Amino acid sequence: MIPPEFDYAAPDSLDAALQALADGGEDAKPLAGGHSLLPLMRLRLAAPTLLVDLRRVPGLRALERENGGWRIGALSRHADLQRRAELGVLAETTALIADQQVRNRGTIGGSLAHGDPASDLPAVLLATEGTVTVRGSAGTREIAAADLFEDYMTTAIAPGEILTEVRVPALDGWGHAYEKFTRRAEDWAMVAVCALVSRADDGSCADVRVALTNMGSTPLRATAVEEALRGRPLDDETIARAAEQAAEGTAPPGDLNASPDYKRHLARVLTRRALRRAAEG
């Protein structure tokens, strides 16, 4: 389908982009890789009157190690991150997004700002306890992952604000795994699980984070699993028992691919697999 008519601007500075969004009002939207927004416009599920293309804004594609973490420009494409093994679970997960064509265009900022609970990177931001920085006419603010995802495709980023960078703790020494279940290769996740495990000197679980993709209207932390594992041995039996609680407190919607019950089953199985792999380091 052909999208409704819209205006287009490609400013060459962040200030100019913010001004263009302010001038365009509530129906103006930033455009990054366009791989989520343009399909919605073609389906006429979104009808922005102005697209403010961020591609010419300098400095939004940085990737730097800083203060024990990573500072990643919002316009960094999935392809920029997927081969950087030092990014840990972020690199592992990015490599599992769709196909190379999508990864060559889609951006980390676009993925997080879009707030689709079936997207892979929101759960990674939640598990790593990362933050995003947004700029608006009132200044700059930082939003913690736990406060970013408010509802289905709804984030704490206000109209007129631009997500400029993503900060993710490096979590050196933690094991990681992202287990994604798809009906066909390169599909969206039916359910996916991000697990991060830190081992104590005696081999037990010093700390653990588990986040779920597509198990509700936002990505979710599986806190019951984390509590069941923290301080305990990282053997198969303890992990399996903890993973049984993965679906606790979730209300996944059924869809064409899976019923809510099947998604809950997947969450338990994928959590067990992800924890086992993350525990191996």
Single residue of 24, 73, 109, 216 touching ligand FAD by CB under 6 A:
109
Binding flag, residue 120, ligand FAD (CB under 6 A): yes
Q: How far apart are CA 114 and CA 147, in angstroms?
A: 14
**With contact defined as beta carbons under 8 Å apart, do 15 and 57 qualify?**
no
Q: Closer to ligand FAD at the Cβ: 103 or 264?
A: 103
Site for ligand FAD in 208-227 (CB under 6 A): none
Q: Closer to ligand FAD at the Cβ: 125 or 171?
A: 125
- Helix (H) / strand (E) containing 143: strand 139-144
Binding flag, residue 119, ligand FAD (CB under 6 A): yes
- What are the counts of helices (DSSP H) followed by strands (DSSP E) for the chain? 11, 14
Give the CB-side neighbour count of residue 173, counting CA atoms within 13 A: 9
Binding flag, residue 98, ligand FAD (CB under 6 A): yes
Q: How far apart are CA 220 and CA 212, in angstroms?
A: 5
Q: 3-state class of 39 per DSSP?
A: helix
Binding mask 163-202 vs ligand FAD (x if CB under 6 A, - otherwise)?
x------------------------x--------------
Q: How far apart are CA 164 and CA 141, in angstroms?
A: 10
Q: Which stretch binds ligand FAD (CB under 6 A): 12-20, 23-31, 81-89, 234-242?
A: 23-31
Which residue, among 199, 249, 210, has the nearest Cα to 128 in the 3D structure? 210
Distance in Å, CB of 83 to ligand FAD, minimum: 16
Residues that bind ligand FAD (CB under 6 A): 29-37, 39, 54, 74, 97-98, 102, 106-107, 109-111, 113-114, 119-121, 157, 162-163, 188
